[in-house]
Structure 1
Amino acid sequence: MTLWIKNATTIDQQGNLNLTELVIKEDKIAAIGDDVASLIKGKTEPENIIDAKGALLTPGLIDVHVHLREPGFSYKETIKTGTEAAARGGFTTICAMPNVNPEPDTPEKMLALQEKNKADAVIKVLQYAPITKGLRSDHLTDQKALIAAGAFAFTNDGVGVQSAGTMYLAMKEAAKNNVAIVAHTEDDSLLFGGVMHEGKRSRELGLPGILNITEASQIARDVLISEATGAHYHVCHVSTKESVRVIRDAKKAGIHVTAEVAPHHLILTEEDIPGDTSLYKMNPPLRSKEDRAALIKGLLDGTIDMIATDHAPHSKEEKEGSMIGSPFGIVGSETAFSLLYTHLVETGIFTLKQVVDWLTVQPAKIFNLDSGILAVGKQADLALFDLTTAKDIREEDFLSLSANTPFIGWKVKGTTVMTIADGKIVYEEVI
């Protein structure tokens, strides 16, 4: 199939917006801009012409942190619904966390999950494997065998690796295998039953808080282990000013550390929590204004490398009522770009080019993915976004099985018009 996209807006290297057109043949980009005319001149026009009407054309977004919940928790999300939700958000590649049941901690389980991903996903799914068997043990998985079975990288996301010795051995092996260790950083001994950020708002609500050092202290430990082993160490969902400081110092020391931040930590703080409602319960929690400012500065100065959603669906019943006793997590695949554009680009905090790069170029570069740019010959993974029309975020529009987010009802620009993966339209806005 051939697609001809006309009247699209793209961002050049200087951040300027320009009208352009693009032709896709089969699953590859065949021509962009001035090359389009020569490609189609004197030939039959492509059977599918898409008038973008000025919509922003970007490479397909890449999300290195998504929970698909299947197998084991398909009432929250499935591979099919999770990838459809990601496509609605403009994502064409996502990296799926391994905290499912059973965990893909053996080659056999990994191969079975890869087959399921391939059969059900509408976009590319790169599958993480656990660092340790069952996630919570100190018994390392067989990295080499799991990589042979298709593992993208290794993480125990959802729980921190509590033993420094276990993390040392895992990173030592990862360095030999040239694969990343991706860490949810959380020292269980510093949790004290916390359900939200330890600060002004937790005291007002009378809820147990989660200290900043619960996250930052484990990062401090791990960057030194990364230095000692030479492993690529990637930090999930950074949320505190102390964490940013530790990562910045580690990078200055030449340690191979990279990091991501989630949209909700860039937009909300503890002061936005209206009461004891579990829709605002996420891990790590919404932090202070000072923490949010440090995250923004960390992105701008390169300390934090990319934005990732940590899409974490839960059922409506699970996310009703108090923070105490409810699961941590917020969905983000379908709202990430529009929220970032509306609340951080239109307000002048970030440029549009910066946000697009943090969602495309940077994750592709850091994890060695052959995507993230629009270029002739590249895989036809791209997205179109409407930057002018303001729309409400509505639960009934979600393609995810879950809608556990406090952003319902917010008005945003930058919603997805169309997503194309491997040359096929996988999402198209219904008007």
Structure 2
Amino acid sequence: MRLAAMGLAAILTMGASACAQTNTAPATPNDYAKADNWLCLPGRQDACATDQTTTIVAADGKTSSETFQAAAAPAYDCFYVYPTVSTDPGGNSDMVIDPAEKRVVDQQLARFASKCRVFAPMYRQVTLAALRSVMLGRPSPGDAELAYGDVRDAWRWYLANENKGRGAVLIGHSQGSRILLNLLKNEIDGQPAQKQMISALVLGMNTPVDAAGKYGSIPLCTKADEAGCLVTYVSFRASSPPPANSRFGKTDAEGHRAGCVNPAALLAGKESSEEAPLHSYLSSKGYGAVEGQSPKPFAKGLTVTTPFVSMPGLISARCVSEGDFTYLSVKINADPADPRADDIAGDIVVAGFTLKDWGLHLIDVNLAMGDLVALVDRQAAAYGAK
């Protein structure tokens, strides 16, 4: 089981060429002028136009409802690359929008529509089937260069046809973040497009930063009112830090460490290493296309009917750097005396076994969703988007 988990993590963190197929004919490029090749585009009812209503559960168990409204005329854009969710049978996914892709943008992107125009290209990602092949000790049939090329083409199409000088936030998670790191390196850092970058949210992935806290020339964000910087972290429970075999929270790049930025701390005017309460939006329905814990009861006797739940004060976090690992350490501020839940779901569980080397990867984005949305708006103001 542990070897399988290491294999699964390895394919998410390796470079594009490491799992590329050889001796295959070049794939036909996607035409991103076709709306069908986008999960989300502005001005249409699509995968991002979902119900984001939230039940807020106070420590005393009392509840209230928070409604959601997409911005009518947002001043900036968000470009999102989704994580490994495809249930297609091959090594790379097709371009047909399936429930798995819809679910993940509902969890990770739709809420940003309150602040920005949202763009989410479909791409021929390395599938869960390819990951299972690695878990069984076989070569991956997935081609990560194909996946990267699709996102690169979508980004270029967006810049040429939709950007029109607007500021843009780049958002990714897991495989999507690995692709974003390559996109930042090849298409943005030192290129004209860097002028349009409000920030990049590279979540659930090891971002190798140098001693100056930079990925290339792009610095980690150190305050809320800062543009042109990068937010990145991988999350682990404070009670279960990364074990030695974890591929998350460390990097093999010599002279570099995995970056960690705590968005909640920046909003509070603190250093990322200081603890701050997270504004989490947890799913009331469960997470993703891989096995995970079912949602726990959010309070005694409470039935939740909204898609999301927020529990102010229950979850806090700080960036920790210990040994080879740098990560967002997530603390559950449980109070057994109150009726509210004393724990959250979010661990990856396979056959009843919790994969501790994965930490809280399933909910990296949910944990700080409210903070991320608020932070990009502060960054956009600093950038000058009006």
TM-score (norm 1): 0.32
Larger radius of gyration: 1
